[in-house]
């Protein structure tokens, strides 16, 4: 449900993940809402990827920028994106498709439609509400980034340990391979050469 491409780390994470799946030989596609403020560029160019990551944009009602509608904007957006995704999945996705999502409602919707869904848990659900219990009992796998979450999901929600995959976060070191000296970089950025800078 995030803007894609976009300036947030989550969009970069999606792009790099899908690029790695594609490199492993899988066919990939981002299904994203047609939101206001998204970057009008190909993901491959925006994120400097070595392969193309195709994107399908689905229609939504995006009123996030309208102050008078701020109280209902999220619900309106979620409802319309879910409706668009429902019809898109019925007409386009094959039954052997694997869907990755970090959105609980989308995970529940598509798993109930019979798709193999991998639900990615970034933030641990603080409230053990009914929707999470439904999601965890419906999806094929739960993906998380550390063993603590794996154990908590098992203890709090009864998720079978063999349905939880732990994938530790990494870093794309080549993105930080800077081939300029400190003084060259400071000159380019118009920063003083003889001052300590804390960032």
35-46 pLDDT, tens digit per residue, is 877 778 888 888
pLDDT at residue 199, as a whole number: 75
pLDDT at 65 over 80: no
pLDDT at residue 1, as a whole number: 60
- Summarize the confidence of residues 127-132 as an average pLDDT: 79
pLDDT at residue 172, as a whole number: 75
- List all residues 6 or more positions away from 10 whose beta carbon is below 8 Å from its beta carbon: 2
- With a pLDDT cut of 70, the percent of the chain lying above it is 98
């Amino acid at each position: 449900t995030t803007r894609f491409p976009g300036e947030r780390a989550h969009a970069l994470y999606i792009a790099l993940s899908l690029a790695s799946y594609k490199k492993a030989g899988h066919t990939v596609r981002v299904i994203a809402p047609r939101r206001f403020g998204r970057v009008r560029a190909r993901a491959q160019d925006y994120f400097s990827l070595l392969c193309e990551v195709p994107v399908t944009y689905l229609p939504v009602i995006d009123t996030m920028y309208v102050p008078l509608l701020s109280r209902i904007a999220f619900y309106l957006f979620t409802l319309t994106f879910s409706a668009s995704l429902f019809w898109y999945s019925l007409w386009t996705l094959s039954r052997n498709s694997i869907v990755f999502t970090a959105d609980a409602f989308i995970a529940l919707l598509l798993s109930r439609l019979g798709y193999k869904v991998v639900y990615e848990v970034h933030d641990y659900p603080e409230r053990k509400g009914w929707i999470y219990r439904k999601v965890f009992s419906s999806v094929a796998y739960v993906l998380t980034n550390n063993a603590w979450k794996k154990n908590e999901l098992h203890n709090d929600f009864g998720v079978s340990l063999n349905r939880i995959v732990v994938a530790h976060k990494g870093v794309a070191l080549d993105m930080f391979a800077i081939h300029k000296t400190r003084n060259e970089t400071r000159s380019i950025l118009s920063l003083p050469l003889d001052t300590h800078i804390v960032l």
